[in-house]
Amino acid sequence: KMWEFRSMSFWRAVFAEFFATMFFVFFGLGSAFRWAPGPINILQVALGFGLAIATLVQCVGHISGAHINPAVTFAFLIGSQMSLFRALFYIAAQMLGAVAGAAVLYGVTPPTIRGNLALNTLHPGVSLGQGTTVEIFLTLQYVLCVFATYDERRNGRMGSAAIAIGFSYTLGHLFGIYYTGAGMNPARSFAPAALSRNFVNHWVYWVGPMIGGALGGLVYDFILFPRMRGLSERLAILKGARPPEPEGQTEPRGDPIELKTQSL
């Protein structure tokens, strides 16, 4: 909608998604490089991604909601918590940010080291169906945590949103790295695949997370803690109907992430 297009808070949110995804990919993928012979350090990689997402949620959560993941944005979209217009811009920003982060990382890393990054691969014993199912479950638990943590209807503050979301992402990696490399984020998976021009079985890292994200959002919003909204209200949100503005305020103000995500 044009009101969003003309809003500075909208463009700040889009830039925040680009900026945060760039740093997420830079630090997350960077933690997965093997600088010495031997197996990958699973705990190091899991903590690298988990701490990165926790840090960035703290940095930009009050600006954009800190989705940093097309699967999360898709989940908010199908749950009628953001407009289609905003969702498309978020996903575009996330994809560009991921590629930018991976490009900078590759540029500062010796070729002999960057060549051993193989997170976007299925374990030899894991079938395409099994890998897709694992990605569904990994992303489902993560999006479920995001929805529960961001829910403005919760009474009181339930600790740190950044830490909770970081732990959820770490959990996914501790389990999923052995199976699929723990994609959980199509933008994160797309960036190294694009730079290395290796898209073998790449669809698994889109289909799995998008289905998992959608299921996580639907289970939370329609089963665990239903949002009582009519069809007309949901359609208005998807179309980007302008929310009422408080008197004397010309732009929506970002509330703390523990209360709500920005303009969703």
What is the model's pLDDT at position 243? 57
Whether residue 37 is contained in a domain is answered as yes
Determine the average pLDDT of the residues in 54-76. Answer: 97
Output phi, psi for 75, to 5 deg.
Answer: -65, -45
* pLDDT tens track for 72-130: 999 999 998 999 999 999 999 999 999 999 999 999 999 888 776 657 789 999 999 99
Asked if pLDDT for residue 204 goes beyond 90, the answer is yes
Whether residue 208 is contained in a domain is answered as yes
Whether residue 224 is contained in a domain is answered as yes
Asked if pLDDT for residue 251 goes beyond 60, the answer is no
Contact (Cβ atoms closer than 8 angstroms) between residue 7 and residue 97:
no
Separation of alpha carbons 89 and 84, rounded Å: 9
Considering 36-50, 147-161, 201-215, the range whose residues carry the highest mean pLDDT is: 201-215
Whether residue 247 is contained in a domain is answered as no
Radius of gyration over every alpha carbon of the chain, rounded to an integer in angstroms: 18
Domain that includes residue 55, residue range? 2-239
What is the model's pLDDT at position 117? 64
Mean pLDDT in the chain? 87
Tell me the pLDDT band of 140, cut-offs 50, 70 and 90.
very high
Tell me the pLDDT band of 156, cut-offs 50, 70 and 90.
low
Whether residue 229 is contained in a domain is answered as yes
Asked if pLDDT for residue 254 goes beyond 50, the answer is no
Whether residue 259 is contained in a domain is answered as no
Whether residue 254 is contained in a domain is answered as no
Whether residue 233 is contained in a domain is answered as yes
What is the number of structural domains in the chain? 1
Tell me the pLDDT band of 153, cut-offs 50, 70 and 90.
confident
pTM assigned to the model: 0.88
Determine the average pLDDT of the residues in 132-156. Answer: 92
What is the model's pLDDT at position 238? 84
Among 95, 87, 106, which Cα is nearest to 190's? 95
Asked if pLDDT for residue 244 goes beyond 70, the answer is no
- The CATH number given to whatever domain includes residue 155 is 1.20.1080.10
